[in-house]
């Protein structure tokens, strides 16, 4: 079992961590490339950067906004994020691991603070799950993964908390550590491909939206031409009635 | 959350459409739609979607939104439609999800693969029908955008959804008819006002001002090289005499050169509400007229969407290196007043006055304080609605729905309910709504909700307070 632990936090961690970084890098690169392309296509380069910046930072540090809508849920979400960001990066044991495997490290937060943050994150994670389950609107909209995420994210916290507060016996320690390490690795693998990619993409949202509101000139005419209505104004549905459907496009729309 | 009563719900969702029209079109939406090709709608929807993705910039936003949508339902708090109906289909995020799901399923690799694996048949006619209903329940006020932690702009998705629907022929007849007149009709504007009628109106307004204030105020027609080409919502020429008189009086006081062009004099652009092609063609008409007259700036009248379209899309579609500056008449008046060119008599309006922020002007923080400062200068009792400014509540007739007369009960009982409560709470005698759409909607709202408040434009009130005596006459002799 010891070797499983060593493998999970050694070579496996290095692989999943690199994959996560590469995946996130790809997501950011694609988004930035998409934005640049869209920006290039629009003749209008005027973007209200002040507004974009204002909104972006307001959501990066949303303390003031929590109370405006679903206050309890939002506050829990904030605490959850706080734990998710700080504990994995700054827990003393994690910092030591970095030192051991990578040769460099950074400062660590005190264990008592880590304990508090972990406790908050666990409670918040369960709270978020319940908040989604008990709010009829959120429940109706959510998919299975939306419900699963807070619980999945809580697993490494619970197991890690139990391991670090060594009141548990040696028999329980190893399975819990394995659970801790492998669930964390799984989460890291999933991050780039799921909505958790918002950890890097969300700060780009306001810019994306601002750019998406910039339209390329002549796009409307080209759309109409592609659909086979080049020679008649597309705002006359009657004209479209008299014309057979265009045959140029295939039925199954193509993925990019 | 305050839901509407069951009786109101009955009234709001009652459809005036004839049963055979609904059956023929296979579309149970409450607004009238001109006949269109009904067969194979889902396939044609996807074709239109694909064509739009190919030529426009929406893809970057869709890619971002399908990844991030967290469905936290914070937006429910901000949506005045959902707050009134409590109907889960009216949650902004859920409405957007209709379209995002189509994108995910048909236009992303993972979606296509998953569909192959699970044997998902893809977009159905039922979803198209659902979208036709949902996207016209939304007023695209963008209030929910600022409550979304992920930054999803539901109004952008409403706009895109309507655009795709219009490409397969589903668009409210009221909007389609107006746009057809504007782009292909003989009058060339949405209200079908012919030029002689316009000239008559302007002459009448001049006489009216002379009678009321004793000063000569002209409406300059087709003046070459004027500083400002004035483009109000064309309906102002029919319905909002006071607003126009106020605007003209301001120019009389400042002495700046402005003009109304007989070639094209309509600021309205329904393209923003449902079709990018129309958006562009209408702006080109404005551009042509501005070029013909050699006007230096575009001056938009008191109209939210017209101003937003001109300000944010004129540089896109009429793209020279240096596009004409676009300003709203409220900005102009405020600046003139600040510079001392315009003198206003204080305390002229003694009744209680409140100000409604049109979404298209206020949401981005473009015009917030100017009208308030002007109102505070002339009113003794100015009160704010809560919430206000960027966080204002939509009048309930946004994004062109105000022009759809057959859904009036929906607009006044559902969409405008929150606004009605807001105005009622202020106890104001006048509500200033500097937007043609808001004015029409709010008047109907006051009537249907039984609130005693008069809806006016900003310049209606300023007109009563302009001091012609002490101001510089700029060499114009009465």
Residues whose CB falls within 8 Å of the CB of residue B371, separated by 6 or more in sequence, listed in order: B330, B334, B355, B432, B434, B458
**CA atoms of A108 and A92, how far apart (whole Å):** 5
Q: Is B164 part of any domain?
A: yes
* In a domain? residue B470: no
Q: Choose the closest CB to B55 out of A31, A216, A236.
A: A216
> A196-225: per-residue pLDDT in tens?
999 999 999 999 999 999 999 888 888 888
Q: What DSSP state is assigned to residue B256?
A: -
Percent of residues in chain B assigned helix, strand, coil, to nearest 5: 55, 10, 35
Structural domain contains residue A245? no
The residue segments making up the domain with residue B267 are 185-337
How far apart are the C-alpha atoms of B352 and B430, rounded to whole Å?
Answer: 6
B259 and B153 in a single domain? The answer is no
% of chain B exceeding 90 in pLDDT: 56
Does residue B249 sit in the same domain as residue B152? no
Say what the pTM is.
Answer: 0.91
Q: What is the pLDDT of residue B352?
A: 93
For residues B314 and B356, state if they share a domain. no
- pLDDT value at B247 more than 80: yes
Judge contact between B457 and B434, C-beta under 8 A: yes
User: Are B205 and B212 in contact, with CB atoms under 8 Å apart?
Assistant: no
Both B286 and B383 in a single domain?
A: no
* Main-chain phi, psi angles of A205, to 5 degrees: -55, -45
Q: Quick check: B150 contacting A, CB < 8 Å?
A: yes
- Is A235 within 8 Å of B107 when comparing Cβ atoms? no
Please provide the DSSP assignment of A4-73 as one string: HHHHHHTHHHHHHHHHHHHHHHHHHHHHHHHHHHHHHH-S-----HHHHHHHHHHHHSGGGGGGGSSHHH
| Residues B317 and B402 occupy one common structural domain | no
Tell me the average pLDDT of chain A.
Answer: 85
The predicted model gives B337-355 an average pLDDT of 91
Domain, as residue range, for A153: 2-212
In the block, tokens 């036709």 appear at: B132
Token pair 């006002």 is found at B193
Contact between B274 and B241 under an 8 Å Cβ cutoff? The reply is: no
Question: What is the model's pLDDT at position A240?
Answer: 54
Radius of gyration of chain B (CA): 23
Burial profile A139-159: b = 16 or more Cβ within 10 angstroms, e = fewer: bebbeeebbebbebbbbbbbb
Query: In DSSP terms, which residues pair with A109 in a beta bridge?
Result: A91
Please state the rounded mean pLDDT for residues B38-48.
88
User: Please, are residues B86 and B1 in contact by the beta-carbon 8 Å criterion?
Assistant: yes
Q: From chain B, pick out residues whose CB is under 8 angstroms from the CB of A136.
A: 88
Question: For a pLDDT cut of 70, what percent of chain B falls above it?
Answer: 97
d(CA A250, CA A130): 45
Residue B179 lies in a domain: no
The yes-or-no verdict on residue B137 having pLDDT over 70 is yes
Tally of domains in chain B:
3
CB contact under 8 A, A59 and B151: yes
> Is residue B407 domain-resident?
yes
Instruction: Answer whether B261's CB lies under 8 Å from B293's CB.
Output: yes
In a domain, A73, yes or no: yes
Nearest C-alpha neighbor of B139 from the set B295, B304, B346, B342:
B304
Confidence check: pLDDT of A115 > 70? yes
The answer to the question of residue A250 being in a domain is no
Question: Inter-chain contact B276–A223, Cβ cutoff 8 Å?
Answer: yes
CATH number at residue B436: 3.40.50
| For residues B393-420, average pLDDT | 91
Helix (H) or strand (E) segment spanning residue B328: strand B326-328
Please list, in sequence order, all residues whose beta carbon lies within 8 angstroms of the beta carbon of residue B211, skipping any fewer than 6 positions away: none
Of B298, B355, B363, the C-alpha closest to B329 is B298
Chain A residue with the nearest C-alpha to that of B51: A223
pLDDT of residue B6: 86
Residue A248 falls within a domain, yes or no? no
What is the rounded CA–CA span in Å between residue B112 and residue B127?
18
- Is A58's pLDDT higher than 70? yes
Domain assignment present for A130: yes
Q: What is the 3-state secondary structure of chain A?
A: CHHHHHHHHCHHHHHHHHHHHHHHHHHHHHHHHHHHHHHHHCCCCCCCHHHHHHHHHHHHCHHHHHHHCCHHHHHHHHHHHHHHHHHHHHEHHHHHHHHHHHCCCCCCECHHHHHHHHHHHHHHHHHHHHHHHHCHHHHHHCCHHHHHHHHHHHHHHHHHHHHHCCCCCHHHHHHHHHHHHHHHHHHHHHHHHCHHHHHHHHHHHHHHHHHHCCCCCCHHHHHHHHCCCCCCCCCCHHHHHCCCCCCCCCCCCCCC
The whole-angstrom separation of Cα B17 and Cα B404 is 13
Domain identity same for B413 and B451? yes
| B395 plus B423 within the same structural domain | yes
Same domain, B323 and B351: no
Do B15 and B160 fall into the same domain?
A: yes
Number of independent structural domains in chain A: 1
* B124 lies in the same domain as B146: yes
Chain B residue nearest residue A251, CA to CA: B43
For residue A252, the model assigns a pLDDT of 39
A208 touches A35 (CB < 8 A): yes
Using a CB cutoff of 8 Å and minimum separation of 24, what contacts does B204-212 make?
A: B205/B241, B205/B244, B205/B245, B205/B248, B206/B248, B208/B241, B208/B245, B209/B245, B209/B248, B209/B249, B212/B245
User: In this predicted model, what pLDDT tens digit does every residue of A159-179 receive, in sequence order?
Assistant: 999 888 767 777 788 889 999
Same domain, B13 and B150: yes
- The model's pLDDT over B294-314, given as tens digits with 9 standing for 90+, comes to 999 999 999 999 999 999 899
Chain A, nearest residue to B142 by Cα: A209
- Residue B265 placed within a domain: yes
Flag whether pLDDT at B67 surpasses 70.
yes
Q: Give domain status of residue B472, yes or no.
A: no
* Residue B54 placed within a domain: yes
B383 three-class SS: strand
Predicted confidence (pLDDT) at residue A248 exceeds the cutoff of 60: no
Both B293 and B442 in one domain: the answer is no
Task: Answer for the pair B353, B383: CB distance below 8 angstroms, yes or no.
Answer: yes
Q: What is the mean pLDDT of residues B149-175?
A: 92
Q: What gap in Å lies between CA A2 and CA A12, rounded to an integer?
A: 14
Answer whether B302 touches A (CB < 8 Å): no
CATH of the domain at B116: 1.10.1060
Residue A35 has pLDDT above 90, yes or no: yes
CATH number at residue A166: 1.20.950
B230 φ/ψ angles, rounded to the nearest 5 degrees: -90, 125
ipTM of this complex prediction, to 2 decimal places: 0.89
Q: Nearest chain A Cα to B48, which residue?
A: A227
Rounded CA separation B4/A206 (Å)? 34
Q: Is there a domain that residue B388 lies in?
A: yes
- Both tokens assigned to B457: 């434009």
Chain B nearest-CA distance from A54, in A, is 11
Pick the last residue of a domain from B337, B354, B383: B337
In a domain, A243, yes or no: no
Domain membership of residue A148 (yes or no) is yes
- Residue A93, domain member (yes or no): yes
Nearest to B60 among A38, A215, A219 (CB): A38
Q: Which residues of B touch A73 (CB under 8 A)?
A: 72, 74
């Amino acid at each position: 079992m010891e070797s499983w632990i060593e493998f999970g936090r050694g070579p496996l961690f290095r692989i999943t961590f690199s994959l996560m970084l590469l995946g996130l890098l790809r997501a950011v690169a694609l988004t930035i490339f998409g934005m640049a392309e869209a920006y290039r296509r629009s003749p209008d380069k005027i973007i209200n950067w002040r507004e974009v910046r204002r909104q972006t930072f307001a959501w990066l540090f949303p303390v003031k906004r929590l109370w405006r809508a679903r206050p309890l849920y939002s506050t829990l979400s904030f605490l959850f994020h706080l734990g998710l960001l700080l504990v994995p990066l700054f827990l003393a044991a994690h910092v030591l691991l970095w030192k051991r495997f990578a040769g460099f490290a950074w400062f660590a937060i005190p264990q008592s603070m880590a304990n508090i943050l972990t406790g908050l994150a666990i409670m918040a994670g369960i709270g978020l799950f319940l908040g989604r389950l008990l709010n009829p609107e959120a429940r109706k909209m959510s998919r299975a993964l939306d419900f699963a995420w807070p619980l999945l994210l809580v697993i490494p916290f619970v197991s890690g908390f139990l391991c670090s507060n060594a009141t548990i016996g040696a028999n329980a320690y190893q399975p819990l550590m394995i659970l801790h390490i492998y669930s964390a690795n799984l989460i890291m693998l999933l991050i780039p491909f799921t909505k958790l990619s918002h950890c890097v993409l969300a700060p780009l949202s306001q810019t994306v939206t601002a750019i998406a509101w910039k339209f390329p000139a002549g796009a409307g005419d080209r759309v109409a031409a592609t659909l086979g209505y080049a020679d008649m104004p597309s705002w006359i549905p009657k004209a479209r009635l008299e014309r057979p459907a265009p045959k140029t496009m295939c039925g199954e729309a193509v993925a990019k | 959350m305050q839901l509407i009563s069951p009786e109101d719900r009955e009234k709001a969702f009652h459809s005036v459409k004839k049963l055979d029209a609904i059956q023929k079109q296979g579309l149970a939406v409450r607004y009238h739609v001109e006949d269109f090709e009904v067969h194979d709608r889902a396939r044609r929807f996807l074709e239109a979607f694909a064509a739009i993705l190919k030529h426009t910039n929406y893809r970057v936003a869709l890619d971002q939104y399908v990844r991030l949508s967290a469905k936290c339902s914070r937006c429910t708090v901000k949506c005045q439609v959902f707050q009134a109906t409590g109907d889960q289909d009216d949650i902004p995020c859920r409405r957007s999800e209709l379209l995002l799901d189509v994108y995910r399923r048909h236009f992303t690799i993972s979606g296509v693969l998953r569909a192959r694996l699970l044997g998902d048949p893809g977009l159905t006619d039922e979803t198209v029908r659902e979208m036709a209903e949902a996207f016209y329940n939304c007023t695209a006020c963008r209030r929910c955008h600022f409550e979304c932690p992920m930054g999803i702009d539901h109004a952008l998705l409403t706009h895109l959804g309507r655009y795709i629907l219009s490409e397969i022929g589903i668009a409210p007849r009221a909007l389609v008819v107006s746009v057809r007149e504007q782009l292909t009709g003989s009058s060339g504007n949405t209200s079908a006002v012919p030029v002689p009628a316009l000239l008559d109106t302007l002459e009448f307004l001049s006489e009216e001002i002379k009678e009321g204030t004793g000063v000569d105020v002209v409406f300059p027609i087709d003046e070459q090289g004027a500083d400002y080409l004035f483009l109000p919502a064309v309906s102002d020429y029919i319905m909002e005499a006071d607003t126009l008189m106020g605007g003209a009086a301001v120019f009389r006081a400042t002495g700046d050169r402005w003009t109304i062009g007989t070639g094209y004099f309509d600021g309205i652009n329904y393209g923003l509400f449902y079709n990018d092609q129309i958006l562009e063609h209408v702006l080109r008409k404005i551009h042509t007229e501005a070029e013909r007259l050699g006007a230096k700036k575009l001056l938009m009248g008191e109209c939210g969407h017209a101003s937003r379209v001109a300000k944010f899309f004129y540089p896109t579609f009429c793209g020279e290196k240096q596009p004409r500056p676009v300003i709203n008449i409220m900005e102009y008046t405020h600046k003139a007043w600040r510079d001392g060119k315009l003198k206003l008599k204080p305390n002229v309006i003694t009744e209680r006055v409140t100000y409604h922020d049109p979404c298209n002007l206020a949401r981005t923080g473009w015009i917030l304080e100017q009208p308030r400062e002007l109102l505070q200068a002339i009113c003794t009792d100015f009160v704010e609605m809560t919430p206000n400014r960027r966080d204002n509540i939509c009048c309930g007739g946004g994004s062109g729905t105000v022009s759809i007369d057959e859904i009036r009960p929906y607009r006044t009982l559902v969409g405008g309910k929150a606004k009605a409560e807001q105005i009622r709470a202020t106890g104001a005698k006048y509500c200033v709504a500097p937007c043609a759409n808001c004015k029409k909607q709010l008047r109907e709202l006051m009537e249907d909700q039984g609130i005693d408040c008069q809806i006016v434009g900003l310049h209606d009130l300023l007109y009563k307070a302009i001091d012609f005596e002490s101001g510089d006459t700029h060499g114009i002799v009465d």
